[in-house]
Structure 1
Amino acid sequence: MKPDTDSICFGLSEELDRSSFAVFLRLSGQLEFAELLASRLSREEINTHVDTFMALLRKYLTEDEYHSFFLNQ
């Protein structure tokens, strides 16, 4: 199912921010987009993104959730 990009809106409510962020994450995970962006980022930008994202995963996911939901193991 294709993410509904018309539903993305930040700053109006926490609930809308959360649902918009979920759509945003789905969009950023599309293979073609991910490969395009990865080809254009600098090594420093990649490291910054990975460090920030991994810090969020460590903060908010248990080890089991990390393996199950992020790594799909």
Structure 2
Amino acid sequence: MDTHQFVHNYEGAGAFGLDRETDEETLIFYLQKFSEDKFMAHLLPKLSNEEITRVYDLVNHLIHKHLSEEEYHRIFLKDR
């Protein structure tokens, strides 16, 4: 099951560039808001094919760079 609990409980600064911890929290907040179904339905039609590819390629690159095959399936896909 997919969950986005952080965004509902976050009370931090929501600013980027202050320190590593705040940057990480802000990134979680932004990505959880970004991936909401209603927001995606609104944004995706406005993106060019190139922009869609760039977002996909960045996420895919980071996943494959930092996760083992087992982590990818267990944590990201949740199929193991």
TM-score, normalisation: structure 2: 0.76
**Counterpart residue identity of residue 33, structure 1:** F
2:32 alignment counterpart: 26
Give the alignment partner of residue 70 of structure 1, picking from 64, 76, 79. Answer: 76
Deviates more, 1:36-45 or 1:2-11: 2-11
Number of matched pairs: 73
Question: Deviations for 1:36-62, whole angstroms, at most 9, x for unmatched residues?
Answer: 111110111111111111101111122
**Aligned partner of 1:21: which letter?**
L
TM-score (norm 1): 0.82
Moved over 6 A (4+): none
Q: Which runs of 5+ in 1 are unaligned?
A: none
The equivalent residue for 2:52 is: 46
Amino acid at match of 1:68: R
Contact 1:57 1:66 in 2 (8 A): yes
**How far does the alpha carbon of each residue in 1:6-60 deviate from its partner, in whole angstroms, 9 at most, with x for none?**
6411101011101111111111111111121111101111111111111011111
Identity %: 32
Instruction: Extract unaligned runs of 5+ from structure 2.
Output: none
